[in-house]
Amino acid sequence: MPGSKTKTPPISPRPKSNHAHGPTPLSEFQNLGKGILFFDPAAAATSPPNHDGNHNHDPQLIVLCTWLGGATPRRIAKYTSGYRRLFPVSPILVIQTVIADFTVRSEQAIRRNLAPARDVIRHVLLTRFRPTTESPRAGGVHSAPENENHRTGTGRTGILLHIFSNGGCHLSLQLAHTYLSSFGHDSLPVSLQILDSCPGTFSIAQTYGAAVHSVPAHHPWAVQSLERWGLWGAVVLVAGIQNGLPRAIGEKVVRRKLLGGVGVDFEGMRRGVLDDGLFGGGGQRDGKKERMGRLYLYSKADEVVGWRDVERHVWLARKLVVKKKKKGIENGLVRAERFEKASHCALVMEDEERYWRAVRESWEGQMERRRMRRESREEEECEPGKVVLGATDERGGEGGVGEEPGTRSGVEEGVESRAAEVSRTRGRTSKL
């Protein structure tokens, strides 16, 4: 019958093949195990990235700590694809959050599981360079030597860390802790921290609502019911520890000692993402850290993390910046973009152009602040009455800053003074 040709076939819950619809999401990423995925454009089978200088200021590495519940490969791929368009030469590391990280896995166990991610970060920071340091004295661009420690910041742009929801916050803190304890007490060198739909405060309804999405839909109904009840019990237990007991007892005694660090310390998490000791600036020069930039992306319609909780955190972040502000260089260090209709961790669906524009402008702003800091340091070194003696590199490796009269060339007088001192020393030596 002619009508039978237009009859819609039944929908299969598991399609036989995805080839007709393109490659599987995230299939180009290398699976390092334990929910950790890595993609390096330089090692991809596609054409090599363009190194003509247009992307010299791209992040050395992009790290995504995903959200708990509903973070499927297809949804995560929306963000990895956006970053690949925005920063085509930057490697991307994806760290997926699972329900065990919130319920039964201790902080020490999470840190052990994050070892592959920690090692990839270290490897990229020590081997991938951006020739971003322009030296006015040399008149050109140069890249850092391969054996240079990443703390100097020369030719290094640092990490763009994108944190999704409270689950991503929790994992990013454990990643920073394991990095700090493993590599000579170096903080994770983050240049820009993006807080997407976070950080929130503890709420039984909101926490359970986010966690329940992690229950596998393919499990039998009876198993799903048991899993949901188990989640509810875990959430209520956390509520009793954090809200029913004083923090000195609930957090330090019950959760950490008796339970071995199982669960999430929401109050500590909100403070931890502001800790410069854990998330250091992406570049450090002369032993001084560069301040990390922060971008908050959140929605007024978020049903999991309240927008007022996020805005209170924005206020705290800006308050920290005001305390350490200098010469206007830190203006714009904290930026907040509030969406109106998007659901939790789906802001890109409301206004994709605005979303990625905020990410791009925040990163470019951080690179511009780095340039301003470098120029400010050079101005301080060359201000009237101060000259740099001898051959110097950008970190003042040779010579130093000396006080010299301004009537003649300070360098000439410095050289003559040094020559006279050498002559007197030789004279004393010959008499001996």
Least confident of 149-158, 207-216, 314-323: 149-158
334-368 confidence digits (pLDDT tens): 999 999 999 999 999 999 999 999 999 999 999 99
- Residue 258 parent element (H or E): none
For CATH 3.40.50.1820, list the domain ranges present in the chain. Answer: 23-46+54-379
What is the residue-averaged pLDDT of the chain? 75
At residue 61, φ and ψ (nearest 5 deg) are: -155, 140
Least confident of 44-48, 170-174, 354-358: 44-48
Give the C-alpha separation, 173 to 159, whole Å: 15
pLDDT band at 76 (very low <50, low <70, confident <90, very high): very high
Task: Please give the pLDDT value at position 164.
Answer: 97
Report, at the CATH architecture level, how domain 23-46+54-379 is classified: 3-Layer(aba) Sandwich (3.40)
Answer yes or no: are the C-beta atoms of 204 and 235 closer than 8 Å. Answer: yes
Query: Would you say residue 120 has pLDDT above 70?
Result: yes
Query: Would you say residue 160 has pLDDT above 90?
Result: yes
Give the C-alpha separation, 336 to 358, whole Å: 9
At residue 59, φ and ψ (nearest 5 deg) are: -60, 145
pLDDT band at 15 (very low <50, low <70, confident <90, very high): very low
Task: Please give the pLDDT value at position 68.
Answer: 84
372-428 confidence digits (pLDDT tens): 888 877 666 665 555 443 333 333 343 333 333 333 433 344 444 545 554 554 454
Other CB atoms within 10 A of residue 21 CB: 8
Given the structure tokens 């048991």, which residue do they identify?
A: 226
